[in-house]
Amino acid sequence: MSLRARFETIRDATLRLAAPLSADDCQAQSHPDASPVKWHLAHTTWFFETFVLGRRGGLNGALFNSYYASLGEPLPRASRALLTRPSLDDVLRYRREIDREVCRTPDVDAALVELGLQHEQQHQELILTDLKHLLWMNPARPAYVKRAAEARDVDASPAAWMEFPGGLVEIGADGSGFAFDHERPRHRRFLEPFALASRPVTCGEYLEFMRDGGYTRPELWLSDGWDAVRREGWTSPLYWEDGRLFTLAGPRPLDPLEPVCHVSAYEADAYARWAGARLPGEDEWEVAAERARLPRGTFLESGRLHPAPGPAARLLGDVWEWTRSAYGPYPGYRAPDGELGEYNGKFMSGRLVLRGGSCATPESHVSATYRNYFPPDTRWQFTGIRLAK
Amino acid sequence: MSLRARFETIRDATLRLAAPLSADDCQAQSHPDASPVKWHLAHTTWFFETFVLGRRGGLNGALFNSYYASLGEPLPRASRALLTRPSLDDVLRYRREIDREVCRTPDVDAALVELGLQHEQQHQELILTDLKHLLWMNPARPAYVKRAAEARDVDASPAAWMEFPGGLVEIGADGSGFAFDHERPRHRRFLEPFALASRPVTCGEYLEFMRDGGYTRPELWLSDGWDAVRREGWTSPLYWEDGRLFTLAGPRPLDPLEPVCHVSAYEADAYARWAGARLPGEDEWEVAAERARLPRGTFLESGRLHPAPGPAARLLGDVWEWTRSAYGPYPGYRAPDGELGEYNGKFMSGRLVLRGGSCATPESHVSATYRNYFPPDTRWQFTGIRLAK
Amino acid sequence: MSLRARFETIRDATLRLAAPLSADDCQAQSHPDASPVKWHLAHTTWFFETFVLGRRGGLNGALFNSYYASLGEPLPRASRALLTRPSLDDVLRYRREIDREVCRTPDVDAALVELGLQHEQQHQELILTDLKHLLWMNPARPAYVKRAAEARDVDASPAAWMEFPGGLVEIGADGSGFAFDHERPRHRRFLEPFALASRPVTCGEYLEFMRDGGYTRPELWLSDGWDAVRREGWTSPLYWEDGRLFTLAGPRPLDPLEPVCHVSAYEADAYARWAGARLPGEDEWEVAAERARLPRGTFLESGRLHPAPGPAARLLGDVWEWTRSAYGPYPGYRAPDGELGEYNGKFMSGRLVLRGGSCATPESHVSATYRNYFPPDTRWQFTGIRLAK
Amino acid sequence: MSLRARFETIRDATLRLAAPLSADDCQAQSHPDASPVKWHLAHTTWFFETFVLGRRGGLNGALFNSYYASLGEPLPRASRALLTRPSLDDVLRYRREIDREVCRTPDVDAALVELGLQHEQQHQELILTDLKHLLWMNPARPAYVKRAAEARDVDASPAAWMEFPGGLVEIGADGSGFAFDHERPRHRRFLEPFALASRPVTCGEYLEFMRDGGYTRPELWLSDGWDAVRREGWTSPLYWEDGRLFTLAGPRPLDPLEPVCHVSAYEADAYARWAGARLPGEDEWEVAAERARLPRGTFLESGRLHPAPGPAARLLGDVWEWTRSAYGPYPGYRAPDGELGEYNGKFMSGRLVLRGGSCATPESHVSATYRNYFPPDTRWQFTGIRLAK
């Protein structure tokens, strides 16, 4: 696909995600780490305006800059829902104008356009996760879509352990194809032999942990995790309510064969300890992904909008998988010069790496080397558990 | 006017206030004590549905009950902006349906309809004050209306003192006409002789206080007020910015002859102390209003949406005037039985009485006996200062 | 008693309160509104040093100024427990030095010495209430004294209503004898006829309220009170635990005939509403105290350190009685000039008046015109309930 | 030294640290992560009582358990200063009794005694760091000791880079001698070539960073670090005030040749970025320590109580050196069974590893494999900066 066609396809996919939503839906923000859909629509456009068209400052910068301090003081995150002006219609107009300009500009920097598109895809996922949280906060528990796509390949077989020998390995992106700065450089590591489960932990398995007193036994938890359990009153994953699950298609019964999701890294860690296992390192995960070449699970394009109960063995897709690796620089990492140096590098503290992409991730966006990162108490993303030992 | 005509006129006036606003504008809430315009539109309708039509519970109750605990746990105030469903269109449809039902119902309780209309008028004012705060939080400082009505009767003459003899007086609503429960019963009080200024304190006068170090001299302030100054970083009334004033028609230069507004009771008290005066008691204010019969100032109907620099002497309108009276029950007050007993009575702690109505109050809504009440640190209402001694 | 003898007696009484305590006990502070005993010992001394000896500033001012902003920025209240230097021994030496100076100074201002002694007596009560809270926070629930004085005049008779005719009355201190600034001037008020209960509400009566769901029925509570119940998780008065009461002599069973104490104004108000009564106005209370001349209850000197179950009818002593009167200035009140103007005047917002003194108040310190004041959510003082109607 | 002699020596060293302090000094706690000296004295004793003598529960457990959830709910950290009972005298008596019992018990578990002594040494350092913060919070800035030991080996030469080749290395404690669980197992890692500075960053060097706008340039900071700078108002390391430094011997002028200390990991990281370097990994640090065998700096025994300006090259001592390594388990780590499994393992999230020991660490307590860990915003420990590249 030409870059131009790719540009139009990806930008349009964002609009299609927003299409079922009213201006009301696009305005609201249900917690400080989430953003209104309207803001996502504008911010991704501002990204092209700023980095591809090279226009800086002005009101768009004051409103739609996310966190680039070198571009001026951004609006506080929690204030994004206060931007009733520009209206949704104005923002859609803004998208069309910038799209037209990008397409008309003779020698755009293709690498920056590609970065903008990868960025756009990240926000496609965030539109869904932020919206899901917003709808959940409404006592009526309304749905984003009437009906989600049915699951295929349902499989009730237990997880198997995939064994790997360890030794000197390489991880990280090599030169070919797009990769974010923090996936580079490819470098060597030494690993002990390890094993990875052949699929993510399911709701049914997680229920056993809960029934065994998982949320009431401090010995299973990291200290910070136990503090979070008590401070937040966690007794189940997010979006569980009276044996039912809230999804983007509204509430419905739990399916015990589906991967458990919306768990924090603390819950993932406690589950793993309870199960006599542990979370993988990101290097182990990546080595396994490159060598085992398992089938993929569910992505955004499936229209399911929720992790699926199959196939029996799979790696990418369905849920982001918490690793026990703190998010940090690879040996020899250098943040890019200039403003885009703030894209990833400055977040290299207090976050854990997640791998694999989820049912809300565009399939083309993730790979075996892709690194996502969130603080360990994050639950509103489609985050799940892959066991290691 | 017949009650039916009055019903249609007042309900319609609310819609006209919302008419210039987008769905985006109606969705947002900029602080926990404010509400989204859409919520105001729905809540006032729920009031009629509940108390006039006698329907209780259901989803409307879960979403649009403000604070009537006897009708079930209300939605937390800070969550009102999360109700993207029902949409603004749905809420407008809800208004039309309930209006039709009220008008079609043969023997509605006229007193309850009247209470609903008075309640509606209270929310008309809140729509404006809440919206003003929301627009202010937008870095673009957008306007609600392009242009506000010009001031008439501009007058630069200094305030005069109106003297009153004190003695045994009566305050409170007598039997005739509508009055809220807390305006009753009319009762006797003993007052020392007192004097009241002939008009509210102006911006020009308040600027002198500021220039004299008003916000940096603890000896001028109540202890709680000084704490608020430091905690909140107050250095001027709300909505002052670099010598300009933010109004519902956008930012514009200060007019020194306009009444100062958007001050807390603490600021009003500090100003009065600085000026060698004090705030009035609500009984003094009411006696003055009944005896002096000064001209009225500006109300909502003027379209000015801001207090005006004249006439020279005036009492009701322009700004709510802080009194030093704690909001409490008159001797012999009894809250109404049932759910409507929660309307006013349960707020009789921690609040001060304000008198007189503002430029955002419907003129027919206020009178000499009308009692408004807010916590002393409130600034987003059109609150000003009347001196006494 | 000569002023000199009175000075020595009252200063010595403070030392006797601290005598059973270790340096450890005197150092700690269990909530921001309380102070360490060592700080009380030093602050009262600083009061004489500053206002009687006329020495200002210096380290003592930086450490032991409570809230006199005109004497420089006081140490934050919550930091008082951090002052391990000077040590308790140093503070006791400081007391002796200042006492000697005061006694040696030829023409001390007798009015200021008297104010210092009244201030000292206020802190005697605070030493006991602050210490009680501190000991309560210790899981071992240790006692201040081994054994408290036995109750005399135990009386199980029900409260009677004392009727008063209302009309034009006078309240406030007249010229004779010591009175705080805020007790003046004596002035006229108009009262409706009212009745006052002949004794405070007892624990047994309060238990009935609790058993009738008092803490779970929002309709009984002021809105702010209900918020406090939920925020703080109140289900009983402070210091009640499994049917036992924590006292300065340690935990012991509840006595249903003792006055209930350690209730907030919100609890007092909710109880009164439940009982079909209300809290008195401070003017009603004072008129009753002057006219009814009931026997007094228990004061500090009794050594009981807890309110007592008798005599049958009584007014001053045992518990501070919440009134529904907001603490404010009497008509014509003027705060004293200079720094001592901060003593009371600046607290005239957000507080309610309490009347009558408690079992921790020195008996000579209170009178019918005495005004104490605390925010309505205060519970660590010996605060109780007198019903009115 | 026999274990018995070692026991007596180390336990006695703790007492000698507390000897210059009053009961007042030992009672207070100036922030929630610090503890009162009295509590340290009691907690270390409780550790022997619980784990060596095998007595569980009781009041000592309720008061002096730090964080062992499997031994019952510990007292909230912030409440430790409220334990005025037992008194300091009682705690000293408790120490003597437990010491006697430990020494009298025939077959104590030597490994548990050794763990208790290592634990005791950790608390010796905490006694000094917690006390330093407490004295700093006193406006009088009092001193712990009149005079600290003079510096020897002052050296103004610039830091050199020590080069290391990388490759497959081993880190972690091998079987011999005491090591904490988390120092094991010794295991292989692959490292790229790296260099380490020959001494910690000095105050003089850090001042250049400050003068170059270090605290005002977001591009130098991790995102979480910049948030901390703004939230906490940091403009220098902790304990710097008007060009002077607060030490355990009181305030004195900065010495530009001393290692900078009391910096957070965020400040260390920002300084390193400004200097064109980075923080070391804990594996790099350990490899360097084992291979370079530099002289040691200052430890607790020196009596200096502050990092020293020499010798020119040195590694252990003076300041704990922030690494960029998240604190986590070594490959194959298993927390010990039982209650002591909570000692380290449960803190393996949200913390960074520090290496090398400080001027407040007993010299025998640290080694090349020793791992300390704190959250990245920690400043009250003696934490400094070692550059790597």
Write down the pLDDT at residue C87. 98
State which H helix or E strand residue C353 sits in.
strand C352-355
Question: What six digits make up the tokens of A153?
Answer: 């390949």
CB neighbour class for B296 (10 Å; exposed up to 12, middle 13-18, buried from 19): middle
Question: Which of A21, A22, A24 is the best residue to mutate to test the B interface, defined by the most B CB atoms within 10 Å of its own CB?
Answer: A24
Q: Per the structure block, which two tokens stand in for B275? A: 């000026």
- Residue D274 CA to residue D89 CA, distance in Å, equals 51
Identify the closest residue of chain A to D226 by CA–CA distance. Answer: A346
Q: Which residues pair with A171 in a beta bridge?
A: A187
Q: Which of D38, D243, D37, D237 is nearest to D132 (CA)?
A: D37
Query: Tens of pLDDT along D12-47?
Result: 999 999 999 999 999 999 999 999 999 999 999 999
Residue C36 structure tokens: 């360490």
Tokens of D372: 């300390």
Beta strands in chain D (DSSP E): 161-164, 167-171, 187-191, 194-197, 240-241, 244-247, 250-253, 320-326, 352-355, 372-374, 383-384
A225 and D349 within 8 Å at the Cβ level: the answer is: yes
* Count of CB pairs separated by less than 8 Å, C with D: 92
Could you tell me which residues come within 8 angstroms of residue C176 by beta carbon, excluding any fewer than 6 positions away? none
Q: How many CB atoms lie within 10 A of CB B16?
A: 9
**pTM score, two decimals?**
0.96
Question: Rounded to whole angstroms, how far apart are CA atoms D157 and C296?
Answer: 81
Q: State the pLDDT at residue B155.
A: 86
DSSP letters along B199-244, please?
Answer: SPPBHHHHHHHHHTTGGG-GGGS-HHHHHHHHHHT-SSSTTEETTE
Q: How confident is the model at residue C109 (pLDDT cuts 50, 70, 90)?
A: very high
Which 3-state string (H, E, C) describes A159-190?
CCEEEECCEEEEECCCCCCCCCHHHCCCEEEE
User: Does the beta-carbon distance from D189 to A190 stay under 8 Å?
Assistant: yes
Residue B211: CA count within 13 A, CB half-sphere: 7
- Whole-angstrom CA distances from B231 to A78, B235, D28, D165 are 20, 11, 27, 55
Partners of A241 in the β-ladder = A244
Residue C153 has pLDDT above 90, yes or no: no
Per-residue pLDDT of D195-245, as tens digits, reads 999 999 999 999 999 999 999 999 999 999 999 999 999 999 999 999 899
Does chain A touch chain D (at least 3 C-beta pairs within 8 Å)?
A: yes
* Percent helix, strand and coil across chain B, each to the nearest 5: 40, 10, 45
Length of chain B as a residue count: 389
Element (H, E) at C241: strand C240-241
Kindly report the number of other CB atoms within 10 A of residue A96's CB atom: 13
- Name the 3-class secondary structure at D120: helix
Q: Mean pLDDT over residues C353-380, rounded? A: 98
CB burial of A265-301 (b: ≥16 within 10 Å; e: otherwise) equals bbbbbbbbbbbebbbbbbbbbbbbbeeeebeebbbbe
C222 Cβ under 8 Å from any chain B Cβ: yes
Mean pLDDT of D373-387: 98
Backbone angles phi, psi at D296, to 5 degrees: -90, 155
| Composition of chain C by helix, strand, coil, percent to 5 | 40, 10, 45
Could you tell me which residue, C120 or B293, shows the higher pLDDT? C120
With beta carbons under 8 A apart, name residues in chain D contacting C89: 22
ipTM: 0.96
Q: Does C97 contact chain B (CB < 8 Å)?
A: no
- Cis peptide upstream of residue C86 (ω within 30 degrees of 0): yes
Distance between CA C371 and CA C21 in Å, rounded? Answer: 30
Query: Please, are residues A183 and A173 in contact by the beta-carbon 8 Å criterion?
Result: yes
The answer to whether B363 and B300 have CB atoms below 8 angstroms apart is yes
- Per-residue model confidence (pLDDT) at position A1: 78
Compute the nearest-CA separation of B30 from chain A (Å): 6
CA neighbor of A373 nearest in space, from C271, C188, D222: D222
Q: Does D32 touch chain A (CB under 8 A)?
A: no
pLDDT, mean of residues C105-114: 95
Return the percentage of chain A with pLDDT > 70, whole number: 100
Say how far apart CA A189 and CA C210 lie, in whole Å. Answer: 66
List chain D residues with CB under 8 Å of A330: none
Closest chain D C-alpha to A116 CA, distance in angstroms: 21
Element (DSSP H or E) covering residue D136? helix D110-137
Band the pLDDT of D153: cuts 50, 70, 90.
Answer: confident
pLDDT (0 to 100) of residue B61: 94
Nearest CB among A22, A63, A135 relative to B139 is that of: A63
Cross-strand partners of D167: D191
| C1 has pLDDT over 90 | no
The answer on pLDDT for D175 being more than 90 is no
For residue D96, pLDDT beyond 90? yes
Peptide bond into A307 cis (omega under 30): no
Is pLDDT at D171 greater than 90 in this prediction?
yes
The pLDDT confidence band at residue D152, using thresholds 50, 70 and 90, is confident
pLDDT at B387: 98
Low-confidence ranges of chain A (pLDDT < 70): none
Helices within C19-79 (DSSP H only): 23-27, 37-47, 58-64
With beta carbons less than 8 A apart as the criterion, state whether D307 and D297 touch: yes
* CA distances for C340 relative to C55, C111, C115, C351, D67, angstroms: 14, 12, 10, 20, 48
Question: Does D157 contact chain C (CB < 8 Å)?
Answer: no
Residue type, B307: P
* Chains within contact range of chain C (3+ C-beta pairs < 8 Å): B, D
What band does C57 get if pLDDT is binned at 50, 70 and 90? confident
pLDDT reported for residue D176: 84
The DSSP symbol for B143 reads -
Nearest C-alpha neighbor of D265 from the set D377, D386, D380: D377
Q: From residue D10, how far is each of D55, D107, D344 by CA, in Å?
A: 22, 20, 22
Measured distance CA(C290)–CA(A145) in Å, rounded:
74
**Residue D129 and residue D34 in contact, taking contact as beta carbons nearer than 8 Å:** yes
What average pLDDT score do residues C340-353 get? 97
Given this model, what pLDDT does residue A355 score? Answer: 98
Q: Encoding tokens for residue A259?
A: 């991967």
CA B120/CA B113 separation, integer angstroms: 10
C162 pairs with which residues across the strands? C196
Give the closest-approach CA distance of B131 to chain A in angstroms. 11
Residue D151 has pLDDT above 90, yes or no: no
Give residue-wise pLDDT tens across range B300-335. 999 999 999 999 999 999 999 999 999 999 999 999
Instruction: Please write the tens of the pLDDT for every residue from B132-145.
Output: 999 999 999 999 99
* Joined tokens for residue D320: 């704990």
Q: From B265, which residue of chain C is nearest by alpha-carbon distance? A: C349
Residues with Cβ within 8 Å of A376's Cβ and at least 6 positions away in sequence, in order, are: A224, A225, A264, A265, A266, A322, A351, A352, D349, D350
The span from the CA of D74 to the CA of D69, in Å, is 7
